[in-house]
Structure 1
Amino acid sequence: MERLVYSDVRETLYREVLPNGLEVIVLPKEGFRKTYATFSTRYGSIDNRFAVGDRPPIEVPDGIAHFLEHKMFEEPTGDIFATFASQGASANAFTSFDRTVYLFSATEQIEKNLVTLLDFVQHPYFTDENVEKEKGIIEQEINMYRDNADWRVYFGLIDAMYHNHPIHIDIAGTVESIRQIDKATLYRCYETFYHPGNMMLFVVGGVDAERIFGLVRDNQSRKSFPPQEEIRRFFDAEPESVKKPKTKAVLPVSLPKCMFGFKEKRTGFTGRELQRREAATKLMLESLIGPSSPLYQSLYDDNLISDSFGHEYNSAPDYAFSVIGGDTPDPDALLDRFRVAVDRALADGLQKTSFERAKRKKSAVICAC
C-alpha cells in the first residue's frame, strides 16, 4: 500500500494496484460520518470502435456504454437499488464521454455496501428478455431529453463543434442505435472494458484505510479474471475547424438559451500534462467569467444573464473544449460583450484579483473533498 502525502492541501491518500490490475485509492477523513465510494471504468460513450489485443477492430452501436450501465443494476434476485437502500445507502451511476461510474454514499454498514458495490458491478446479468425490455425504457429517456431545452442546446453546441469525433453523439445514443444492441454485444463490451485492470475503486470518508484495503483484497482474491489485453480505441481524424459556427433550435422556453464554446486545436496531452492543462483552463474560465468576476457581475447587472449562467471544461487525450452559457434575453448582445472581454483579456491578461480569488476557491474545494 502506497502512502501519498499532499501537504499543500493537507490530504493523505493510500493507493494500491491489486494483482488483477484493479487500482484502489482510499482517502480517510477523520471525524467524517458519511462515506462515498465510486467504482469506475475507463469506458464511455465515445468508445464505439475498438479492438482487444491483436484482434480486428469492431464497431458497436452508439449508446451502448449507457445501456450497459442501466443493465448492471439488474440482478437475478431483483434490483440492486433495493439492496443498497436496505443497507442504509444511496446508490447511483452515470455514464460520461469517457467513464462509467457506479457509486454509493452511506453513514452506516460501509463495508457491507462496499462489498455490494464490488459484487454487482463484477457480476453482469443479461438475458434476451431483459435487454429487449430495457430498449423501451431507454427510448423513453431519449425522447424525454429531446424535449429538454438545456440538454438540446448543450449537445447542439458539441455537434456544431465536432465533425467526426463520436463526442458529438448523444451519450444515450439514438432510438435507432439502441435497437441494434443485443445480449452478445453487451457481454463483449463488458468483458472488454470491465476488467479490473481498466477500473478504479475510490473510497473517501470516515474509514480506516487498512480495513478497506483488507476487505477489497479479500473480495478480489475470491474472483477469477483472465489476463487483460491491450484495449485499442479508434477515432476518425478530426479537423481543427468547427463543423458549424452557429446553430439554432426552436423550443417552447420562457427565455432564449445561448451556449457558446471553444474547440481546442491542440490535443494529445496525457497524464500530468493533461491534468495541468485542465487545471489552468478551469482557473482561466473562473477568473474570466466565474460568478465573482467583474464580467459576470456586469452582465448580471445589465440583465443579460441569470444565475443559470455558467461554464465547464472537458478534456481527454483526443478532445478538449470549453462550454459557456445559460439563459439570456439577448444572445447576440451577450456574445458581443463576451468577445470584447476576451479581446481585452488577451491584450491585458486576466485581472490579478479575480485570478487569485479563483485559485483560492479551487484550493478550498480540494481541501473540502
Structure 2
Amino acid sequence: MEKKVYEQLNETLYKEVLPNGLRVFVLPKKDFHKTYGLFSTNYGSIDNEFGYGNELTRVPDGIAHFLEHKMFEKEDGDVFQLFGKQGASANAFTSFTKTSYLFSATDNIKENLQTLIDFVQDPYFTEETVEKEKGIIGQEIQMYDDDPNWRQFFGILKNMYPKHPLHIDIAGTIESIAEITAENLYHCYHTFYHPSNMTLFVVGNVEPEDLIEFVSQNQAQKEFAEIQTIHRHFPEESIEDIVPFSRMEMPVNRTKVVLGIKGAQDNLPTDAYELLRFRTALNLLFQLLLGNTSENYLRLYNEGVIDDTFGFEFSLDRSFHFADFSGDSQTPDVFAKAIEEILLDFAQDPEVKEENLTLLKKKMLGKYFQSLNSLEFIANQFTQDLFGELTLFDVPEIIQSIEIQDVLQAGERFIQQEAFSRFYLEPLKEK
C-alpha cells in the first residue's frame, strides 16, 4: 500500500492497486461524521466506438448513461432501497468520459461500501426492463431539449466538434436509445466495467488499512476476465471542420450567446504535470482577462455589453479541450466581437501582469482550500481530476508554480483565431 503525505494540506492519501487492476484510494478525515464512497469507471458518453485490437464495435449514442440507470435495477429489487435501509443515500452520474456511483452515510460504512461494489459488479439486464427504461430516459431527453442553457452548450459543441461524439447529448437521442438492447448493455459493461478500468475512492472517518483490506477480500472472492487494453476510436477532425457560426430559435426573452475556442489535441503537453499546469495557467489567463474583478469585465458590464449572466469555463479531458464564454445579450454580435477581441489580444492586455496574477493565485488557492471542507466536493472531484499519478491534492503546488510566462505560453498554445466559433440561441420570431 502506498501512502502519500500532503504536508501543506495536512492530508494523507492511501493507495492500493489490487491484482485485478482496481485502484483503491482512501482519504481519512477524522473530524467528519459523514463518509463518501465513489466507484468510477473510465467510460462516458463519448466512448461509442471501441474494441480490443482492430475489432471495433459501434454502439448507440447515450448507452453509457442508459447503462448507469440500469445498474440500480436488480432481479430482487432496487439498490436504492437497500442503501436506504442501511442509512445511506446513493446516486450516480455520467459525464463525457466517466460514469460514477456513490453513497454517503454516517454509519454502516462497510456494509454500504460492500453494497456499492457488489451492485456495480453484478449487472442484470433483460429486454423487458430495457424497453421499460427507454420511456423514462426519453422523458429525460425531452426535458433537456427544453432547457435553453443545455441547448446553448451543445450548440457550441456541435460547431466545434461536428464529427466527434462530444457534440451528442450525454443521454443520447430518442432515436438512438430506441436501438439499445440488453446485449449492447452487457457488451459495454464487460468492456468498460473491468476493475482495471475503474477507481474506488473513499473519504471520511475511516481506517485506511482496514478498509483497503476489506475491499481486497471482496475482490479476491470474485472472478474477472483477463486485463485487456481497450481501444477507443474517435473521428479525425481538423481546424477546418469547425463551424464558425450557427443559430437556432427557442422561446427565450433575449438571445443567448456563446463564443467557443476549440483546442488542438496535438498542441497539448504530453506530461501529466505539464498538462495540469497548462489547464491551471489557462484558467488563470481567462480570469485575468475576463474575471469579475478585471478591468475588461467592469468596462463591458458598464457599457451594457455583458451582465450577470456572463460566465466562462475551460474543459480539458481525454480526446478534447475547449473554452466557452457565454451570456444573454440584446446585441449578440457586439458581445461576441468584444470578447473575441480581448482574447485574441491577450498578450498585450494590461491586465496580464505579475501583480494581478499573484492576487488571482491567492484567490484561487483560497477557494481551493475552502472547497476541501466539503467531502462531497472531494469525492466528486477526485476521480475527475486524475492526471497520471497526480491527483486533486497536487493542485496547490501547481497553482503556486505558475508564473506570468506560463500564462502567456498557454494562451499562445490555445488561442488561435481559426479555432473560434459562435452560437446564438435566439427568441422565436413572430410569424
TM-score computed with the length of structure 1 as normaliser: 0.93
Q: 1:283 to 1:83 in 2, by over 3 A?
A: farther
Conservation of the 8 A alpha-carbon contact between 1:155 and 1:168: yes
User: What is aligned with 2:292?
Assistant: 291
- Tell me the SS of whatever aligns to 1:46: coil
Q: 1:244 to 1:113 in 2, by over 3 A?
A: same
1:310 and 2:311 aligned: yes
- Structure 1 counterpart of 2:125, one-letter code: F
1:1-369 alignment runs, 5 A limit = 1-52=1-52, 54=53, 56-267=55-266, 269-270=269-270, 271-348=272-349, 350-367=352-369, 368-369=371-372
Stretch of structure 1 that moved more, 194-203 or 112-121: 112-121
2: CA distance between counterparts of 1:264 and 1:305? 25
1:232 Cα deviation (Å)?
0.5
- Tell me the SS of whatever aligns to 1:94: strand
* Structure 1 residue runs without a partner (length 5+): none
2: CA distance between counterparts of 1:298 and 1:89? 49
- Structure 2 counterpart of 1:319, one-letter code: F
Conservation of the 8 A alpha-carbon contact between 2:43 and 2:97: yes
2: CA distance between counterparts of 1:79 and 1:301? 54
Q: 1:344 to 1:269 in 2, by over 3 A?
A: closer
**Over residues 106-163 of structure 1, what are the superposed CA-to-partner deviations in whole Å (9 max), with x where a residue is unaligned?**
2232222211111111111101110001111111111111111000000000000113
Aligned sequence identity (%): 48
Aligned length: 368
Conservation of the 8 A alpha-carbon contact between 1:9 and 1:363: no
CA RMSD of aligned residues (A): 2.0
- Tell me the SS of whatever aligns to 1:356: helix
1:76 Cα deviation (Å)?
1.7
2: CA distance between counterparts of 1:25 and 1:365? 24
1: CA distance between counterparts of 2:308 and 2:33? 32
Q: 1:208 to 1:306 in 2, by over 3 A?
A: farther
Q: 1:308 to 1:28 in 2, by over 3 A?
A: farther
2: CA distance between counterparts of 1:73 and 1:50? 24
2: CA distance between counterparts of 1:169 and 1:207? 40
1:353 Cα deviation (Å)?
4.3
TM-score computed with the length of structure 2 as normaliser: 0.80
1:55 Cα deviation (Å)?
6.0
- Tell me the SS of whatever aligns to 1:143: helix
1:312 Cα deviation (Å)?
1.8
Stretch of structure 1 that moved more, 172-181 or 327-336: 327-336
Stretch of structure 1 that moved more, 288-297 or 316-325: 288-297
1: CA distance between counterparts of 2:101 and 2:363? 28
Conservation of the 8 A alpha-carbon contact between 2:97 and 2:318: no
Conservation of the 8 A alpha-carbon contact between 1:39 and 1:201: yes
- Structure 2 counterpart of 1:322, one-letter code: A
2: CA distance between counterparts of 1:295 and 1:90? 44
Conservation of the 8 A alpha-carbon contact between 1:158 and 1:167: yes
2: CA distance between counterparts of 1:188 and 1:344? 49
- Tell me the SS of whatever aligns to 2:261: strand
User: What is aligned with 2:420?
Assistant: none
* Structure 2 residue runs without a partner (length 5+): 373-431
**Over residues 73-102 of structure 1, what are the superposed CA-to-partner deviations in whole Å (9 max), with x where a residue is unaligned?**
111222222222333322211111111111
Stretch of structure 1 that moved more, 319-328 or 295-304: 295-304
Q: 1:77 to 1:299 in 2, by over 3 A?
A: farther
2: CA distance between counterparts of 1:43 and 1:142? 20
Q: 1:310 to 1:113 in 2, by over 3 A?
A: farther
Conservation of the 8 A alpha-carbon contact between 1:34 and 1:107: yes
**Over residues 1-23 of structure 1, what are the superposed CA-to-partner deviations in whole Å (9 max), with x where a residue is unaligned?**
10112334433211110111100
**Over residues 190-248 of structure 1, what are the superposed CA-to-partner deviations in whole Å (9 max), with x where a residue is unaligned?**
00000000000111222221222122112212211111111011112111235311111
